[in-house]
Amino acid sequence: MPTPTPGRPVRGSSTGRPLMAALDLFGRRWSLRIVWELQRGPLGFRALQQRCDNMSSSVLRQRLTDLATALVVEQHPDTTYALTPLGHDAYRALRPLVRWSDDWAAALADEKPTSQHG
Amino acid sequence: MPTPTPGRPVRGSSTGRPLMAALDLFGRRWSLRIVWELQRGPLGFRALQQRCDNMSSSVLRQRLTDLATALVVEQHPDTTYALTPLGHDAYRALRPLVRWSDDWAAALADEKPTSQHG
DNA sequence: TCTAAGTGCTTCGAAAAAAGAATCAGATCC
DNA sequence: GGATCTGATTCTTTTTTCGAAGCACTTAGA
């Protein structure tokens, strides 16, 4: 399970296009979430795990390795994990998704109202 | 494997926050890619499959169901699949990722040059 | 009508990834 | 010493994905 890297073929794409590598990296479970949770500041392994709804520690370890290899996350001397500058950029790139998810929630609530009276 | 829906607990989050549902939806393999490929116009099932590096048809079907339930994708009367308005918004929200992936590629190339001469 | 090729879609066994709990070693505190 | 944190590993089970094969249907041609 190699870490996706631009310039080389990745899961689901043989072109090596950076975007495809990014889609592979962030298409892995918990990747987006970890970036999201680290954005507010460095966290220790267990604290991060708790922030991520007590995700499996084995997977967390794997994702941290992936993201560190991808230079998105780094481990500080005090062993906490934090976003690199590149990681913060990734967060900013992902930020419009928050806005979208709110619109999405509104649209879904409109489409199928959750058993409200009217 | 229920489709993530804002307002209800999803894989990896019990809060029902829209963002967490979105992270679950797009954290599934191929979800991001499908939105990406459909952005240029409607595609039939097999054409879409080919665009997605011949991804497994069983997973494509599952993802299309997920995305359709989430009102991100819809099937036209001629059986082609297309983004809904909400889907196009999602694409726009994801677009900064392209920019980032280029920066990312540049940073990685800088960090570990791929065995170039000098 | 038979055949061939193209759809959208389904099924199923195998492989890969994730879940989840137990555990280890080191540090800290009492 | 004993309890309790920590980061990290290992192992087994469950879930997800893969990937090939096949089905039902449509179109086109002989």
Per-residue pLDDT reduced to its tens digit, B87-114:
999 999 989 988 999 999 999 888 766 5
* Tokens 């059986």, residue located: B79
Query: Using the CB atom, is residue A14 less than 7 Å from strand D?
Result: no
Please report residues of B whose CB lies closer than 8 A to that of A97: 19, 22-23, 26, 90, 93-94
- Does residue A84 fall inside a structural domain? yes
Query: Is the backbone of residue B77 left (phi > 0), alpha (psi -120 to 50) or beta?
Result: alpha
Q: Which contacts qualify for B110-113: CB closer than 8 Å, 24 or more apart?
A: B111/A71
- Does residue B10 fall inside a structural domain? no
Nucleotide with minimal C1' distance from the CA of B47 is C7
Q: Beta strand B73-75 with A81-83: parallel, antiparallel or unpaired? A: unpaired
Query: Is the backbone of residue B84 left (phi > 0), alpha (psi -120 to 50) or beta?
Result: beta
Q: From CA A84, how far away is CA A8, in angstroms rounded?
A: 22
- Does residue B78 fall inside a structural domain? yes
What is the tens place of the pLDDT at every residue in A77-118? 999 999 999 999 999 998 998 899 999 999 988 876 654 443
pLDDT for residue A114: 55
- Does residue A65 fall inside a structural domain? yes
CATH of the domain at B63: 1.10.10.10
- The conformation of residue A74, written as its DSSP 8-state character, comes to E
CB contact under 8 A, A27 and B26: yes
- For the cut 50, the answer to whether the pLDDT of residue A10 exceeds it is yes
Question: Average pLDDT, stretch B6-10?
Answer: 79
- For the cut 70, the answer to whether the pLDDT of residue B118 exceeds it is no
B interface mutation test: which of A88, A97, A103, A115 has the most B CBs within 10 A? A97
Buried residues in A82-117 as b, exposed as e (16+ CB within 10 A): ebbebbebbbebbebbeebbeebbebbeeeeeeeee
CB contact under 8 A, A114 and B33: no
Q: How many domains does chain A have?
A: 1
Calculate the alpha carbon distances from B1 to A52, A110, B4, B11, B94 in Å: 19, 23, 9, 9, 24
- Does residue B41 fall inside a structural domain? yes
pLDDT for residue A112: 64
Residues 51-80 of A with CB under 8 A from B: 52-53, 55, 70-72
Q: Which of B90, B91, B72 shows the shortest CA–CA distance to B82?
A: B72
- Does residue B112 fall inside a structural domain? no
The CB-side HSE value for B48 (13 A sphere, CA atoms) comes to 30
- Domain, as residue range, for B73: 21-106
Q: Return phi, psi of residue A74, to 5°.
A: -140, 155
- Does residue A15 fall inside a structural domain? no
pLDDT for residue A15: 77
Question: Average pLDDT, stretch B84-89?
Answer: 97
- Does residue A4 fall inside a structural domain? no
Poorest-pLDDT segment among A28-37, A90-99, B2-11, B79-88: B2-11
Poorest-pLDDT segment among A42-46, A48-52, B64-68, B111-115: B111-115
